[in-house]
Copies of this chain bind each other. A is one copy, B any other.
Amino acid sequence: MPNTYKAGWKPDPRLPLPIYRQIEQYVQGRIRSGEWSIGMKLPPQRALAEAFGVNRSTVVTAMEVLMAEGWIEGRGRGGTRVIGIPDERVRRTMNLPDWNAYVEEGAHYPNLPMIQRINRLEFDRDIIRLGTGELSPELLPQEQIRELFASLAKRPVSLGYEQPQGDEELRRLLSRELSRQGIQASPSAILIVSGALQALQLISAGLLERQSAILLEKPSYLYSIHAFQSAGMKLVGLPVDEGGLRLSELERCWRTYRASMLYTIPTFHNPTGTVMSESRRQQLLTLCETIGLPVLEDGAYQELWLDREPPAPLKSRDEHGIVLHVGTMSKAVSPGLRIGWVVGPEPVIERLADIKMQTDYGSSSLSQQAAKMWFASGMHLPHLEHIGKRLRERRDAMLALLDAHWSDIADWSRPEGGFYVWVSLRSPIPVQRLFNQALKHGILLNPGVLYDRSAVRQLRLSYAYASLAELEHALKLLPQLIRSR
């Protein structure tokens, strides 16, 4: 259960029933309905007190009564758990399913506990999100999208299912957008997906056998999710230098692990910010063409350059169709649209489209229409220019703050695009403690271990989300926490 709890219910002090009795009845109701199932761990008393807006002692009283009556039981450090309805008749004839066993036995890996907490805490309004992979709402094109809605309201809307590969006009517009990046992709070689993450899921389900090995940069965003591991695949991390992935290792690991695919973020790597050099890109492709290794290129940050345009994507140099290229609207335009795309050989795109039909019958037609209007409107390039300018200010502010307050304890690189500064502390930190301490001060961190288990001295800082004032506050405070541990 989460450490914060949203009950959607509060005791009412105007009722004749004492508050603790109201809480008792609320808990009994949740247990009776089965929403709090047998074996479920209750939220911490502190979280319940906060959710109900009462003193913790009131919760404690209610819990003691419930425990005495046999609804719940305390298990020391194991927390409090639901036993069920304390009615002998019911218990004798029934053999209710044990949902906890189901939750634990499902084949898909759960997110790392820290990722689960981050996913929830990001919706806490008062928190400073210092590592988040998302643009600040003030940088999203709110006004422009509202204009699009106004014009959507004036024409016939499409409320039906979309084609398996996605709206045809949207794919035509994307084909045009991609050609700006040097990628020649026919609309028939493009699949619309619900964000880049779904593309990874479809590729893992549709193209790879269980037990396959995937090569990737280490650290990598891919380590923080379980798209491939849950499908029974192994991730093999490769070392990286300032020019990107080291190719000598690539060939060796391909041979050792009989790898099926290479996943790479060549431009503004997540989390390190590294840009793969021109020459490395060319060599990488030549090597992969020689050894027959398909490349999955994650281009999520390609357009978010700050100082100079980065080298063109791998896909733009791919003369023989060995690269699958993934892109998204989430980083520059709107995460909430959930619109991304995959570019690749037609048989691959058709296979992925078929699995997508089995997964969710296609992406939201509303989102696809909004995306279509966005790319047709000509708003995209000016918007990129606008956020590029703002992100540059933010990056420079973050670097200045790091210079001023972190130079004795850490090193970092200067990103030329994307969202992140990858900070290496000079001595190792107890990650979980720093995470919790920062949280007590209202700061949400993305520790390096999420992207590489051995990156115990690293933090992924993002200049894209928090305000400048928040950045200043957090980047002044954190070194104190780090030093004082």
Residue ranges of A at the interface with B (Cβ–Cβ < 8 Å): 1-2, 6-9, 30, 32-37, 40-41, 85, 90, 93-100, 102-103, 105-111, 116, 119-120, 122-123, 134, 137, 140-142, 145-147, 149-150, 152-154, 156-164, 168, 172, 184-189, 194-195, 197-198, 201, 205-210, 225-227, 230-232, 260, 289-294, 318-322, 330, 333-338, 344-348, 350-351, 354-355, 357-367, 370
From B156, B161, B345, contact of A99 by CB (8 A)? B345
Q: Is the CB of A359 within 8 A of B197?
A: yes
A154 contacts which chain B residues (CB < 8 A)? Answer: 146
The reply to whether A137 and B159 contact each other, CB–CB distance below 8 Å, is yes
Task: Count this chain's copies in the assembly.
Answer: 2
CB contacts (< 8 Å) of A344 on chain B: these are 35
CB pair A33–B321 under 8 Å, yes or no, is yes
Q: Write the nearest CB–CB distance from A106 to chain B, whole angstroms.
A: 4
Given contacts A37-B345, A110-B355, list 14 more A-B pairs with CB under 8 A.
A6-B188, A8-B187, A85-B320, A95-B291, A96-B320, A102-B207, A103-B348, A107-B205, A108-B205, A116-B354, A120-B164, A137-B160, A152-B153, A336-B365
- Min CB–CB distance A481 → chain B (angstroms): 27
- Give the complex CA separation of A439 and B273 in angstroms: 54
Give the distance in Å from the alpha carbon of A359 to the alpha carbon of B356 in the complex: 11
- Would you call A362 and B338 a contact (CB within 8 A)? yes
Residues in B whose Cβ lies below 8 Å from that of A334: 159-160, 365
**What is the CA–CA distance of A346 and B81 in the complex, to the nearest angstrom?**
13
Structural contact, A289 and B358, CB atoms closer than 8 A: no
Instruction: Report how far A35 CA is from B111 CA in the complex, Å.
Output: 35
The residue from B102, B152, B186, B260 contacting A35, defined by CB atoms under 8 A apart: B186
21 contacts between A and B (CB under 8 A): A2-B350, A6-B188, A8-B172, A34-B319, A37-B348, A40-B347, A41-B347, A93-B290, A95-B289, A97-B292, A97-B294, A140-B159, A145-B157, A146-B152, A159-B334, A159-B335, A160-B335, A198-B359, A336-B366, A338-B364, A363-B364
A113 vs chain B, min Cβ distance (A)? 10
How far, in whole Å, are A156 and B336 apart by their CA atoms in the complex? 14
The CA of A351 and the CA of B142, in the complex, are separated in Å by 32
In the complex the two chains form, is B358's CB within 8 Å of A322's CB? no
Complex interface: chain B residues within 8 A of A145 (CB): 157, 159
Q: Provided the pairs A36-B346, A96-B289, A103-B348 are in contact, do residues A194 and B360 lie with their beta carbons within 8 angstroms?
A: yes
Given A33-B319, A335-B159, A365-B337, does the pair A358, B150 have CB atoms closer than 8 Å? Answer: no
Asked, given contacts A95-B289, A153-B153, whether A357 binds B161 with beta carbons under 8 Å apart, the answer is no
* C-alpha gap A201/B361 in the complex (Å): 12
Bound CA–CA A138/B126 (angstroms): 46
B161 & A8 in contact (Cβ 8 Å cutoff):
no
Q: Across the two chains, which residue of chain B brings its CB closest to A171?
A: B8
Contact among B110, B337, B354 with A110 in the assembled complex (CB-CB below 8 Å) = B354
Residues in chain B near residue A93, CB distance under 8 A: 289-290
Given A201-B359, A335-B159, is A103 in contact with B351 using a C-beta cutoff of 8 Å?
yes
The answer to whether A34 touches B187, judged by C-beta atoms less than 8 angstroms apart, is: no
Structural contact, B195 and A360, CB atoms closer than 8 A: yes
Asked if B94 and A290 make an inter-chain contact with CB atoms under 8 angstroms apart, the answer reads yes
Q: Bound state CA distance, A159 and B484, in angstroms?
A: 39
The smallest beta-carbon distance between A265 and chain B, in angstroms, is 17
Q: What 4 A-B pairs are tightest by C-beta distance, nearest first?
A: A34-B321, A336-B365, A37-B345, A159-B334
